[in-house]
């Protein structure tokens, strides 16, 4: 069998033998109204839109695994980190065995030596099990797992830019956020919604657990606005530490320490903890629960980089209109010259788009306002 290349799911860059690559384990996202067969098989239309964003067809089952592409559809020289440690404990296999099974395209007929470790019985007693493989029940999830690929340079570059989300911070009324800013919950009112009172010196705020209701203000929706409001009331609020963190880093740092279950009661905190650990919609999978348990057990910064980097990168899938799905193969050598031609052309077009939309002028106006 000859070697072949993949393409980076987000950038289209070729991934050829020896390239540093990222494998993102995926699981089908169920048969909900957005991605059910009846909805997918649209005739006479030129679009496909979904409220699930990148997760329409597949969702990430686990956090990405890093290594080098081996030219034959798998990952080798895998980097060991908190994520690989967690996956090995969850499945009871080495990370190379796990990755080889995920990357195998012969799970249906069983014709792959990499699958031997999850089959029932000993190899010598199974005989020829081609087209009738019997897998151990505990590996049912792993058998259903597929994956998609990214070039490591693209992944790292996007992870370092921080969150690409249109909303980079948690809402101000979340108790964990207010507590990190020095506010304490001091009581409740009879209001139907904004009935939780948080106080810090001369300032009292009314929250519904997510947003803040202001009687004498147009609304407080970001940290600078809250700081300005508090200063008028005689409180010099220090927002530097929390405001510099993206939303998922805030969840990790301020909500996770107070959370005892991935199914934590409370709509807002529960939803955010579940999204942090890749839960399937509003229900956690067993592997999501295991991620949560291991993070809580190990403490410190365990899995933090894996979690925050992935959520930062995934935001770009939404921004660029890309769905998570397995990628097809590309020419043997990846055709980097022709890929560069496409990327350079796209760069030229995008630069003109930015000028036509006046982004340069808007940036200058923003800088003047900040000064």
Q: What's the pLDDT at 165? A: 58
Strand blocks (E) in the chain? 5-7, 14-15, 20-28, 58-60, 65-69, 75-76, 146-151, 184-188, 196-200, 203-207, 212-213, 329-330
The pLDDT mean for the chain works out to 88
Beta bridge pairs of residue 283: 280
Confidence of residue 164 (pLDDT cuts 50, 70, 90): low
Q: What's the pLDDT at 369? A: 45
Domain ranges for the chain: 175-243, 333-363
For 179-212, how does the pLDDT look when each residue is reduced to its tens digit (9 = 90+)?
A: 999 999 999 999 999 999 999 999 999 999 889 9
Predicted TM-score (pTM) of this structure: 0.89
Residue 266 pLDDT more than 70? no
For 216-262, how does the pLDDT look when each residue is reduced to its tens digit (9 = 90+)?
A: 666 788 899 999 999 999 999 999 999 989 999 999 999 999 888 88
Pairing of strands 329-330, 212-213: unpaired
Task: Tell me which residue of 4, 10, 12 sits closest to 342, measured CA to CA.
Answer: 12
Which residue has tokens 């690989």? 84
Cα separation of 364 and 93, whole Å?
Answer: 54
Pairing of strands 75-76, 58-60: unpaired
For 63-79, how does the pLDDT look when each residue is reduced to its tens digit (9 = 90+)?
A: 999 999 999 999 999 99
Residue 142: its H or E element: helix 140-143
Which residue has tokens 């390239």? 19
Helix then strand then coil, % of the chain, to nearest 5: 40, 15, 45
Mean pLDDT across 16-28:
95
Q: 3-state DSSP call for residue 114?
A: helix
**30: Cβ contacts below 8 Å, ≥ 6 apart:** 280, 281
């Amino acid at each position: 069998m000859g070697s072949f290349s993949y393409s980076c799911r987000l950038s289209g860059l070729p991934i050829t033998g020896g390239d540093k690559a990222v494998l993102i384990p995926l699981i089908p996202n169920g048969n909900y109204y957005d991605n059910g067969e009846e909805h997918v098989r649209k005739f006479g239309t030129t679009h496909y839109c979904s409220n699930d964003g990148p997760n329409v067809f597949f969702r990430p089952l686990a956090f990405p695994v890093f290594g080098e592409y081996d030219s034959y559809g798998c990952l080798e020289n895998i980097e060991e980190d908190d994520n690989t440690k967690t996956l090995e404990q969850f499945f009871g296999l080495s990370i190379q065995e796990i990755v080889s099974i995920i990357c195998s395209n012969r799970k249906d007929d069983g014709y792959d030596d990499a699958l031997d470790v999850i089959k029932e019985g000993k190899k010598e007693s199974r005989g020829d099990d081609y087209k009738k493989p019997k897998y151990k029940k505990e590996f049912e999830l792993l058998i259903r797992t597929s994956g998609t690929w990214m070039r490591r340079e693209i992944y790292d570059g996007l992870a370092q830019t921080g969150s690409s989300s249109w909303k980079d911070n948690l809402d101000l009324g979340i108790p964990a956020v207010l507590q990190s800013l020095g506010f304490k919950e001091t009581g409740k009112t009879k209001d139907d919604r904004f009935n939780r009172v948080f106080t810090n010196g001369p300032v009292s705020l009314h929250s519904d657990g997510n947003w803040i209701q202001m009687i004498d203000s147009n609304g407080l929706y970001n940290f600078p606005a809250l700081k300005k409001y508090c200063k008028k009331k005689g409180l010099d609020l220090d927002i530097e530490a929390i405001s510099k963190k993206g939303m998922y880093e805030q969840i990790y740092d301020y909500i996770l320490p107070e959370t005892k279950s991935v199914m934590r009661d409370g709509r807002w905190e529960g939803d955010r903890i579940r999204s942090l650990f890749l839960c399937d919609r509003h229900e956690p999978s067993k592997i999501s629960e295991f991620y949560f348990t291991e993070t809580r057990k190990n403490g410190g910064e365990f899995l933090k980089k894996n979690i925050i980097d992935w959520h930062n990168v995934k935001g770009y899938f939404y921004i660029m209109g890309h769905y998570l799905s397995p990628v097809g193969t590309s020419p043997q050598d990846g055709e980097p010259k022709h890929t560069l031609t496409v990327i350079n052309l796209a760069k030229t077009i995008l630069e003109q788009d930015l000028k036509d939309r006046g982004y340069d002028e808007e940036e200058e106006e923003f800088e003047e306002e900040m000064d």
